[in-house]
Amino acid sequence: MKIFERSVLFLIVLFTLNVSAQQKKYVMVIHGGAGTILKKNMTPEKEAAYIAVLTQALQTGYAQIKAGKSSLDAVEATIHVLENDPHFNAGKGAVFTHEGKNELDAAMMDGKTLMAGAVAGVTTIKNPISAARAVMEKSEHVMLVGAGADLFAKEAGLEIVDPKYFWTKERWDGLQQAIKEDSTKAVLDHGSKKSELLGIKNHDYKFGTVGCVALDKAGNLAAGTSTGGMTNKKYGRVGDAPIIGAGTYCNNETAGISCTGWGEFYIRNVVAKTISDLMEYKGLSVIEASKIALDKVGKMGGDGGLIALDRKGNITMPFNTEGMYRGAITADGKIEVSIYK
Ligand code: ASP
């Protein structure tokens, strides 16, 4: 090799090393729902409250990862913070069904083993994400629904609450408004463009479903999603969040994914598994694969967003709505939180 060629090669190696050294490695990414979230509809106090709880959730999960705990532990602890906060449509703060009940859905998946657990339509479990994990780890099933799932959680020793625990005035008012506007349609608790097209007014700019993907020190990914579903939902409606492959999926070979948005579109497009498949079978990056899957949702008339984290620590947080509560933390503990576009 001539001297000139050698120096060019040397420069290329140096440049590559420098670029990879600069690339951030993330260990956790979260969302608190996507929808019509506009700065003009937000008070400074509310905005500060959202940022504070998203930050607290990231710090909580990060502490687990730093202590050498599993990504499953990190996802569960992080989602507890979001489920226990009434700002989000999960756990305390869940939206109401048409009948005026709170029916919660959640799922968790282990990227190392491809084991998964989910609960749907539960009414007494304080932290549905823990019930999803218990289904995964303590039962031979993947998904339990309704009264059976509530009973299973009780027998598994999880905290059981009176259904009244989930009642909040804001969500109750949201239901009354939705019934008044259109008693036949379910709406995203955060409102959406498509709801407007269907003639449903954006009666509520707050929301949403919560999700988390984490990468632990052993290199294992885990993903989880927890939600109250959609305001005014009927007939035992189940959304995408607890459906493995639709709203939640995780594989160490590809990525962990958690979705938020109009669930029916995410189910019909099997969004989370599609992202994983595009990465596994087509060799796409987590960013490219997520964009393709979300664009398809948008083309079909659905809206929302998603978060994804691959095993190398790359993240993406795309959404086709006005905003998405979201955040991520790097391996060295740097927190990033955003709300708007
Ligand atoms: N995806 C959820 C559902 O359809 C709703 C949301 O993300 O806000 O149940």
Q: Which atom of ligand 1 lies nearest, measured to the CA of 264? A: 4
The arithmetic mean of pLDDT across residues 108-130, rounded, is: 98
Question: In this structure, are residues 95 and 229 in contact, taking their beta carbons and an 8 Å threshold?
Answer: yes
17-58 confidence digits (pLDDT tens): 554 545 799 999 999 999 888 899 899 999 999 999 999 999
Structure tokens at 246: 């639709």
251-274 confidence digits (pLDDT tens): 999 999 999 999 999 999 999 999
Q: Would you say residue 321 has pLDDT above 90?
A: yes
Which of 78, 97, 209, 274 is labelled catalytic?
209
Q: Which atom of ligand 1 lies nearest, measured to the CA of 228? A: 9
Determine the pLDDT at residue 36. 84
Q: Which of 78, 94, 70 lies closest to 31 in space, CA to CA?
A: 78
134-148 confidence digits (pLDDT tens): 999 999 999 999 999
- Residue for token pair 């949201």: 174
Q: DSSP for 283-325, please give it.
A: ---HHHHHHHHHHHHHHTT--EEEEEEETTS-EE--BSSSEEE
Q: Is 91 in the pocket of ligand 1 (CB under 6 A)?
A: no
- Name the residue of 83, 209, 243 whose CB sits within 8 Å of the most ligand 1 atoms, as the mutation to test its pocket: 209
| pLDDT mean across residues, the chain | 90
- Name the residue of 30, 102, 227, 294 whose CB sits within 8 Å of the most ligand 1 atoms, as the mutation to test its pocket: 227
Give percent of the chain above pLDDT 70: 86
The arithmetic mean of pLDDT across residues 163-179, rounded, is: 93
Q: Would you say residue 247 has pLDDT above 90?
A: yes
Give percent of the chain above pLDDT 90: 81
Buried-exposed string 102-133: b where 16+ CB fall within 10 A, e elsewhere: bbbbbbbbbbbeebbbbbbbbbbbbbbbbbbb
Percentage helix, strand, coil for the chain under 3-state DSSP, each rounded to 5: 40, 25, 35
Q: Is 240 in the pocket of ligand 1 (CB under 6 A)?
A: yes
Name the residue at shortest CA distance from atom 7 of ligand 1: 260
Q: Is 302 in the pocket of ligand 1 (CB under 6 A)?
A: no
**How sure is the predictor about 208, in pLDDT bands with cuts at 50, 70 and 90?**
confident
Q: Which fold has domain 26-340?
A: Glutamine Phosphoribosylpyrophosphate, subunit 1, domain 1 (3.60.20)
Active site residue 209: yes
Q: Which atom of ligand 1 lies nearest, measured to the CA of 247? A: 1
66 Cα to the center of ligand 1, angstroms? 31
Q: Is 263 in the pocket of ligand 1 (CB under 6 A)?
A: yes
Q: Would you say residue 320 has pLDDT above 80?
A: yes
Return the domain boundaries, the chain. Answer: 26-340
Determine the pLDDT at residue 209. 95
67 Cα to the center of ligand 1, angstroms? 32
Q: Would you say residue 311 has pLDDT above 90?
A: yes
**Rounded CA gap, 305 and 310, in Å?**
17
The arithmetic mean of pLDDT across residues 107-126, rounded, is: 98
